């Protein structure tokens, strides 16, 4: 972030210093760039397709005539088995029941509204073709961001699927650069927003990591982390788990539409090592949000059918 700001202001010396500090992170290159994709996918009864998508509250800033129906049509077209959506918004016209009706193939869903008002609510929602046996909300303090998990029974095998939306920076770079103010003031504003987001996100991550680490079931983690693979957020949640992009992805993708930084990947699907990544896709032709949807096919054949009771 700082390197980009300094480069735009032609402060080459500061760019060089910052990049030098980042050299130790080069070993994480595989998390940002993967030259060859995987061809592991073979259809089978233990394969599940997972989709995660920050839908930006149905704001639809890129197509004036697009509605929640277009998002529902896209989700239906992927034929995913489990769908995790972030920034899910309802009001008098966009209701949970209406949207769920558009996704009729998903018989089960669980929702956590982190913000509730008299006429509108905002949060995260998980849809599943398989029965959701239990859901637990994981609230965060003083924010609209949230997390939850859903225990899903897939033909006798229980998966714990986390739907996460961590703290955002809330920084509009286009608006920031359009201001005619001293560069030092711009840096101060960016620094303050980054600091606030990092502190909040770290606390949220620690809360969620405690839940994940004591899960009695194999874990699949989906969501908008609002942070890169070089971050504390990503590495704390990932632990020794697998990232579907690192296992089966290809290229140098971004999941945030408005980023001008290559491989600005902030939306993820992670899973325990007992689960295998068969494919990874970023649907970068979808224009109904500021994020791109991410999907993966996973193999759960080794997770076993014996699970502890609730």
Please calculate the CA angle 77-81-84 and round it to the nearest 5 degrees.
85
Residue-wise burial string across 149-164, b where 16 or more C-beta atoms lie within 10 A, e elsewhere: bbbbbbeebbbbbbbb
Could you tell me which residues come within 8 angstroms of residue 129 by beta carbon, excluding any fewer than 6 positions away? 81, 82, 105, 106, 107, 108
Which token pair is 108? Answer: 């089960």
Sheet of 157-165, strands arranged across? 132-139, 146-154, 157-165, 219-224, 267-271, 242-243
pLDDT at 232 over 60: yes
Q: Is the dihedral of CA 292, 233, 164, 79 positive or negative?
A: positive
Give the pLDDT confidence score for residue 65 in this predicted structure.
52
- pLDDT tens-digit profile of 84-114? 999 999 998 889 999 999 999 999 999 999 9
| Residue 32: pLDDT band with limits 50, 70, 90 | low
Under CATH, which architecture does the 2-299 domain have?
A: 4-Layer Sandwich (3.60)
Instruction: Over range 64-83, report the average pLDDT.
Output: 88
Starting at the edge strand found earlier in the chain, the sheet holding 82-90 runs 108-116, 121-128, 82-90, 47-54, 294-299, 276-282
**219 membership: H or E segment, kind and range:** strand 219-224
Lowest mean pLDDT, pick from 96-105, 129-138, 192-201, 281-290 = 192-201
More confident residue, 191 or 166: 166
What is the reported pLDDT for 172? 55
- In angstroms, rounded to a whole number, what is the distance separating the alpha carbons of residues 218 and 234? 19
pLDDT score of 310: 41
Looking at residues 20-36, what average pLDDT do you find?
55
251-294 tens-digit pLDDT: 878 899 876 666 689 999 999 999 999 999 999 888 788 899 99
Asked whether residue 244 carries a pLDDT value surpassing 70, the answer given is: yes
Domain boundaries of the chain, sorted by first residue: 2-299
Average pLDDT, the chain: 83
75-91: average pLDDT: 96
Per-residue pLDDT for 306 more than 50?
no
Q: Which residues pair with 190 in a beta bridge?
A: none
The pLDDT score that the predictor gives to residue 309 is 46
- Whether 127 has a pLDDT exceeding 70, the answer reads yes
Q: Average the pLDDT over 4-11 and give the result.
A: 49
């Amino acid at each position: 972030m700082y390197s980009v700001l300094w480069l735009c202001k032609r402060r080459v010396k500061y760019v060089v210093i910052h990049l030098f500090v980042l050299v130790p992170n080069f070993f994480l290159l595989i998390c940002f760039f993967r030259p060859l994709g995987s061809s592991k996918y073979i259809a089978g009864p233990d394969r599940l397709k997972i989709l995660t998508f920050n839908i930006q509250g149905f704001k639809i800033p890129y197509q004036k005539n697009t509605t929640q129906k277009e998002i529902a049509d896209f989700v239906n077209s992927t034929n995913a088995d489990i769908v995790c959506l972030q920034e899910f918004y309802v009001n008098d016209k966009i209701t949970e029941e209406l949207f769920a009706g558009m996704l009729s193939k998903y018989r089960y869903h669980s929702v956590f509204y982190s913000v509730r008002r008299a006429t509108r609510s905002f949060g995260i929602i998980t849809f599943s073709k398989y029965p959701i046996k239990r859901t637990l909300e994981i609230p965060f303090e003083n924010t609209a961001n949230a997390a939850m998990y859903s225990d899903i029974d897939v033909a006798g095998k229980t998966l714990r699927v986390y739907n996460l939306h961590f703290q955002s920076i809330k920084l509009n770079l286009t608006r920031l650069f359009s201001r005619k103010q001293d560069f030092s003031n711009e840096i101060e504003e960016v620094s303050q927003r980054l600091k606030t987001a990092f502190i909040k996100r770290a606390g949220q991550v620690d809360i969620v990591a405690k839940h994940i680490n004591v899960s009695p079931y194999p874990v699949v983690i989906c969501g908008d982390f609002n942070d890169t693979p070089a971050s504390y957020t990503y590495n704390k949640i990932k632990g020794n788990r697998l990232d579907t992009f690192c296992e089966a992805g290809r290229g140098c993708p971004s999941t945030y539409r408005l980023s001008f930084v290559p491989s600005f990947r902030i939306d993820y699907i992670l899973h325990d090592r007992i689960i295998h990544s068969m494919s990874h896709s970023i649907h970068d032709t979808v224009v109904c949000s500021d994020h791109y949807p991410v999907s993966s096919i996973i193999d759960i054949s080794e997770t076993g059918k014996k699970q502890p009771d609730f």
